[in-house]
Structure 1
């Protein structure tokens, strides 16, 4: 509301927030609730993040007060052997609940921005300690086998439970917060930057593939001890081109020129000789192209939730994009790098099958379009965003709200009876920002959390470093 200049609506919302009680109610009516369990992860990124961002944009004390109250209520979630947060709370008993003895990377490592910024605003060490403990656990992970942070962790000991890796659902924001924590805290936390670059090195050499006929660039999961590619792509993974673009747009040049110092021998074999910054940008563009095609290929103009890709064949038997990119660099004749060209649907050759035809009003693709436009200045991304907005208006709008689609393959394919809050917080917000000529929250001064709530960039003061026991990176 503040970003859009909706002052009257914002003041009404602020009055509502001032009367809100986040204390978990143990009322009898809670028994009638469809879902007794409240997710810590979703509460932290949506409610806590939203309150902190509202305070940052308005300087209205009520939002900080409520954020601090909410963080205190959520504190028992961290009472595990590792310090990783539990799944959430039971709204009938008020007690923390687990879904087993493990948590996904996204669930346990996507609140560091919120708690660090809250510590900055309140001066309370307990908030900082909760953020720092998560990073302490991640520092202990042995990456010699997985190359990047794996998907699942034990809540008691903080150790990884398998070797599977992903940037999709269950992992996405855990990787996202490596770069964003570095940016939020004034580009001073060297470990988070190093982990981000190590992650991207591994993605570049192991997880990016091109389809054999259409040449679609995509990012896939790697399963277990056999390191088996899943050869599929989720809509959730479409945040990743935006993350790459954000890194290129905000990180200093020496980060990329010195990237070779972090290569493993196998990475050096594939990445040496390439301009790493250019490689990141081309990968972002190519992945963004595929995410756009997931929309443009469908009759509704909106994307399926999941697609399964055609297995690799010649001319790049490995299917790895880095191998195709190297071949292009050696033999290319002025054409664009593989996977980055416009890929219209011809002769019905998709190079993939749709595994889930639902569209859940997700924001990841338009988020990446916004960041790609900021990083490249190419109006193409705005044009494509407008086409998606028009499809939303046509297919998802109802008399009272917007609804997810049941089948994107056809027009008027049916709607679900709900509207997730992230549609307002993220999807429509990124579309709005995409069409502004002047950005109210420039990326050199603000960092968006994973729910698109902007926090201002800051540096820890000497007093804060002393009070919070923050070591120099």
Structure 2
């Protein structure tokens, strides 16, 4: 048999063509099928791609553990704190932080023993009196001097040191804590020597001057109101009160028309106005948004200016920054930038943004969202000074029950935050992920999906809210690039920063959602995270940041941030405790998880301090 005949008999394409002919299928039929498929894809991309197909919720049953089981788990968290703090005491105290792999120490936050100060109220909540008494030795010896490194970062010093001192004072009434807080607040005061009154980045504690660029990140210039308000209350010093009232005045009167009422990321410290159009709830922005609601709650719900700012910020986020992923229908929040050609979304989702579901749940718990007239506000009128398209967005929000809407957003976002942990082989969450969007992946905002869900009769759970199982694909452990891409594609995101930095934001939100809803699933999800921390982050002397959480071979870094003891372990402990020892109606956590008590200004104080 010659080559040509053999080739014709054995070539797969020729054999397939012959098979098609036997079935009456010609090249014409194939061409028509191909053209019809292209037409369908074109129709989908241009007309149907915003249609959200309901994603069935998984049926997940969480066991109703006995109170004794949860108290035993709280005890395990307490033991984890003791392990971390005793390692710090042994190898690092009175320096700032422990290096938990090398058993070294580092002074990276002024050298005043930040881990000890940051941990004071956690010790008090856990009943660790011996550790608390030893930590107080740092307080008694503290003089806030820095003869060598004379630059003190304002933001970190306020939330960690000042917040820690004030919270411990609120719990104990110990005068030395109030005295040290007063001294620290005064030493930091030169930061406010700017034309706008917004604080500069750092303070020279020797010369009494401020340092840093003439521009500031939103979180750094607007995350001190709670601390200075309470400091002013307990010291009766007008200069402290003036610090937080200036911040409220600046933010409330800022020109935000083109930003939809939300604060951009960067600000001019001279003019007090925004310098860019980057909107985010993540790094460099997060706590400033957080403090609008919390300042309102801490001052006995009298500060309507901050309440208005909270409602505008959350409304813009709900309408413009929340999206549904294409396959698993995960709800996430991202950043946007305003350009001449329009708005561009990054579809980046940060672990730092996972504080937002807890904040939304706190708002649901404390605000009359469906009856804002009770606090003197009209919801849709909050958009009167904004662009017409933003006012239309408020009307769309008002077509829903606002309490339900905020709670659904909280639950959907918190679930996605949890799934970024549960999806990984280590059970720990990466610091930054990027959601699939663009090209063949439509940009579907959450409110677009919600409107469609409402039109179609509200069948099933709201988009992004129904329970979902963790991703079961093995894309993280395959060496085949195609398999890995397919797995990541179906998972709906790829990982940009695979490090878990012992961050608290996700467990913070799980704790608040449990206290607000009573749903035990938030406890179980927190327990899974704690077990992963124990398994992957624990060292002989403490706990370490973990690299490559998306692999089966993670690595520990020689870092144990003070916030791990101040926030992460505290929120886990409170999540598992049966008794609600820090009621959300009586205490408000600052951004470093230091609870400050709700208080009310007296008539005399309002007159003396010029408080509306």
Question: Normalized against structure 2, the TM-score is what?
Answer: 0.73
Matched, 1:327 2:443: no
From 159, 163, 173, give the equivalent of 1:49. 163
Structure 2 partner of 1:18:
140
Using the TM superposition, give the Cα deviation of residue 7 of structure 1 relative to its aligned residue in structure 2, in angstroms.
Answer: 1.4
| Structure 2 gaps, min length 5 | 1-122, 384-389, 474-486
Deviates more, 1:82-91 or 1:176-185: 82-91
* Residue number among 399, 402, 407 corresponding to 2:540 in the alignment: 399
**Aligned mate of 2:528, from 368, 373, 387:** 387
How far apart are the structure 1 equivalents of 2:391 and 2:162? 42
C-alpha distance in structure 2 between counterparts of 1:379 and 1:399, whole Å: 32
1:408 counterpart SS class: coil
Instruction: Provide the rounded CA distance (Å) in 1 between the counterparts of 2:205 and 2:603.
Output: 41
Deviation at 1:155, TM superposition (A): 1.1
Residue 240, structure 1, aligned to residue 356, structure 2: yes
The aligned residue for residue 209 of structure 1 is 323
Decide which moves more: 415-424 or 9-18.
9-18
Q: CA deviation at 1:269?
A: 4.7
- Higher relative contact order (CA closer than 8 Å, sequence separation 6+): 2
CA positional deviation for 1:38:
3.0
Give CA-to-partner distance per residue, 1:336-368, whole Å, 9 cap, x none.
111112233155321111001111100000000
Cα distance between partner residues in 2 of 1:187 and 1:69: 28
| 1:310 equivalent in alignment to 2:436 | yes
Q: Does 1:124 align with 2:246?
A: no
In the aligned structure 2, how far is the partner of 1:118 from the partner of 1:94?
Answer: 20
The 8 Å contact of residues 370 and 403 in structure 2, kept in 1 or not, is answered as no
Q: How far apart, CA to CA, are the structure 1 residues paired with 2:206 and 2:200?
A: 17
SS at structure 2 position matched to 1:227: strand
Task: Provide, for residues 418-471 of structure 1, a one-character-per-residue CA deviation record: whole Å limited to 9, x for no partner.
Answer: 111110000000000000111111001000000000000011001111111112
Contact 2:252 2:306 in 1 (8 A): no
Write the distance in 1 (CA, Å) between the matches of 2:432 and 2:461: 27
Q: Which has the larger radius of gyration?
A: 2
Q: How many residue pairs were aligned?
A: 461
Cα distance in 2 for residues equivalent to 1:92 and 1:340:
53
**1:179 paired residue number:** 293
Among residues 219, 226, 250, which one is paired with 1:113 in the alignment?
226
Distance in 2, Cα, partners of 1:141 & 1:368:
29
Q: Contact 1:211–1:312 at 8 Å: present in 2 too?
A: no
Secondary structure at 1:341's aligned position in 2? coil
Does 265-274 or 413-422 show the bigger shift?
265-274
2:392 aligns with one of 262, 266, 273:
266
Structure with greater helix share of residues? 2
Q: Distance in 2 between matches of 1:333 and 1:177?
A: 34
CA positional deviation for 1:317: 4.5
Task: Please tell me whether the aligned partners of residues 164 and 227 of structure 1 are also in contact (alpha carbons under 8 angstroms).
Answer: no
Determine the structure 1 residue equivalent to 2:592: 451
How far 1:72 moved relative to its partner?
Answer: 1.0
Q: State the alpha-carbon separation in 1 of the partners of residues 304 and 207 from structure 2.
A: 42
Matched, 1:136 2:249: yes
Preserved CA contact (<8 Å) 2:232 2:241: yes
Which residue of structure 2 lines up, in the alignment, with residue 39 of structure 1? 153
Change (3 A) 1:131 1:268: closer
Mean CA deviation greater in 456-465 or 410-419: 410-419
Instruction: Note the C-alpha offset of 1:256.
Output: 5.3
Instruction: Write the distance in 2 (CA, Å) between the matches of 1:151 and 1:306.
Output: 18
1:318 Cα deviation after fit:
4.2
Residue 135 of structure 1 and its aligned partner are, at CA, apart by 1.3
Contact 1:26 1:94 in 2 (8 A): no
Contact residue 380 and residue 391 of structure 2 kept, 8 A = no
Match of 1:79 among 193, 214, 236: 193
Task: Please give the alpha-carbon distance, in whole angstroms, between the structure 2 residues aligned to 1:416 and 1:55.
Answer: 34
Does the alignment pair 1:341 with 2:457? no
- From the superposition, tell whether residues 272 and 463 of structure 1 become closer, same or farther in structure 2 (CA, over 3 Å): closer
Asked if 1 retains the 8 angstrom alpha-carbon contact of 2:348 and 2:435, the reply is yes
Rounded Cα–Cα distance in structure 2 between residues aligned with 1:405 and 1:88: 30
State the secondary structure of the residue aligned to 2:434. strand
Match of 2:422 in 1: 296
- 1:405-416 aligned at under 5 Å gives the runs 405-416=546-557
How far did 1:330 drift?
2.1
- 1:306 touches 1:354 (CA, 8 Å); kept in 2? yes
The TM-score normalised by the length of structure 1 is 0.94
Aligned partner of 2:312 among 171, 174, 198 = 198
Counterpart of 1:252 in structure 2 is 368
Within 5 Å, give how 1:432-443 maps onto structure 2: 432-443=573-584
Partners of 1:290 and 1:254 lie apart in 2 by 26
